[in-house]
């Protein structure tokens, strides 16, 4: 193992230890002081459904995700596999996730703690992108049948001493003006709207909202959650 790779792996372990101290939701398992494999655990609400056509939606309260850091990490993104049941358009039937499909274009300076925050948003359905679906059964359900309020868990991952009253909506829409962020590096225009963004007087936003089928030729990405 090269010295640089080992230093990075050690730094990632420390970042996840620090994340754990700020969260009642997050935990992880690993071996050694420079691990290249993790089991990530989230204790919070998500949903799943059996493959049968008449299966009902069920709530799950524990998520387990395998992270494997390839030899070329951090130049190459981690391999990610959900090992517990989940219904999400961007998680394949076998549990695999492409980081680009969850709005996180990989960069070698991106840390595992940031990746875990996005994975929690996937787990609680604060983030979903039906235009980059890996699970078409889930895509169809969210477009045509979903009648539950999202996200199914309102807590941010760093929930210890988190500010209250925060309601941040992140979304992507062609032709919309907004405050651009670092996520636009991959050629996507992503806009973050929060309390500090100038907006017209509007009714107080609701933390949860239902998913509705987007109109034709719309490339929306729905992101509901806390910053």
Give how many domains the chain has, as a whole number: 1
Sign of the C-alpha dihedral, residues 216, 221, 225, 227?
Answer: negative
* Contact between residue 153 and residue 44 where contact means Cβ atoms under 8 Å apart: yes
Establish if 197 belongs to a structural domain.
no
Residue 57 lies in a domain: yes
Place of tokens 């309260």: 61
Residue 155 lies in a domain: no
Confirm whether 103 is domain-assigned.
Answer: yes
Residue 73 lies in a domain: yes
Q: Is pLDDT above 50 for 187?
A: no
CA of residue 99 relative to chain centroid, distance: 9
Does residue 64 sit within a domain?
yes
pLDDT tens digits, one per residue of 126-169:
999 999 999 999 999 999 999 999 999 999 999 997 655 444 43
Mean residue pLDDT of the chain comes to 80
Polymer length in residues for the chain: 227
| 3-state secondary structure string across the chain | CCHHHHHHHHHHHHHHHHHHHCCCCEEEECCCCCCCEEEEEECCCEEEECCCCCCCEEEECCEEEEEECCCCCCCCCCEEEECCCCCCCCCCCCCEECHHHHCCCCCCCCCHHHHHHHHHHHHCCCEECHHHCCCHHHHHHHHHCCCCEECCCCCCCCCCCCCCCCCEEEEECCCCCCCECHHHHHCCCCEEECCCCCCCCCCCCCCCEECCCCCCCCCCEEEEECC
Q: State what percent of residues in the chain have pLDDT above 70.
A: 70
Encoding tokens for residue 210?
């239902």
- Domain span at 12: 3-149
Any idea what the CATH number is for the domain that residue 16 is in?
Answer: 3.10.110.10
Mean pLDDT of 190-206: 40
Neighbour-count burial of 42, counting CB atoms closer than 10 A to its CB (0-12 exposed, 13-18 middle, 19+ buried): buried
Radius of gyration of the chain (CA): 18
Q: Which two tokens stand for residue 48?
A: 């799943």
Residue 223 has pLDDT above 80, yes or no: no
Q: What is the pLDDT of residues 52-103, one digit of tens each?
A: 767 899 999 999 999 999 999 999 999 999 999 999 999 999 999 999 999 9
What is the per-residue pLDDT across 20-57, written as a single tens digit (0 to 9) for each? Answer: 999 999 999 999 999 999 999 999 999 999 877 678 99
Give yes or no for a cis peptide into 151 (omega within 30° of 0): yes
* Residue 201 is assigned to a structural domain of this protein: no
The CA distance from 106 to 115, in Å, is 9
Closest by CA position to 94, among listed 146, 154, 63, 135: 135
Residue 119 has pLDDT above 90, yes or no: yes
**Quick one: which of 170, 166, 181 has its CA closest to 223?**
170
């Amino acid at each position: 193992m090269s010295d640089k790779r080992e230093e990075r792996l050690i730094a990632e372990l420390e970042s996840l230890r620090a994340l754990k101290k700020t969260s009642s939701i997050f935990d992880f398992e690993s071996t050694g002081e420079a691990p290249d494999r993790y089991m990530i655990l989230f204790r919070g609400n998500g949903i799943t459904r059996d493959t049968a056509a008449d299966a009902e939606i069920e709530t799950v309260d524990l998520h387990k995700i395998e992270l494997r850091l390839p030899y070329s990490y951090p130049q190459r993104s981690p391999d990610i596999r959900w090992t517990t049941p989940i219904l999400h358009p961007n998680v394949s039937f076998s549990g695999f996730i492409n980081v680009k499909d969850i709005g996180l274009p990989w960069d070698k300076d991106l840390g595992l703690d940031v990746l875990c925050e996005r994975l929690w948003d996937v787990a609680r359905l604060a983030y979903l992108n039906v235009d980059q679906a890996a699970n078409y059964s889930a895509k169809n359900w969210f477009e045509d049948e979903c009648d539950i309020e999202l996200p199914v868990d309102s807590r941010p991952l760093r929930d210890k001493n988190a500010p209250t009253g925060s309601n941040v909506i992140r979304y992507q829409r062609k032709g919309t003006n907004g405050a651009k962020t670092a996520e636009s590096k991959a050629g996507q225009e992503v806009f973050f709207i929060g309390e500090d963004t100038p907006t017209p007087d509007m009714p107080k936003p609701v933390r949860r909202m239902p998913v509705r089928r987007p109109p034709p030729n719309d490339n929306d990405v729905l992101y509901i959650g806390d910053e």
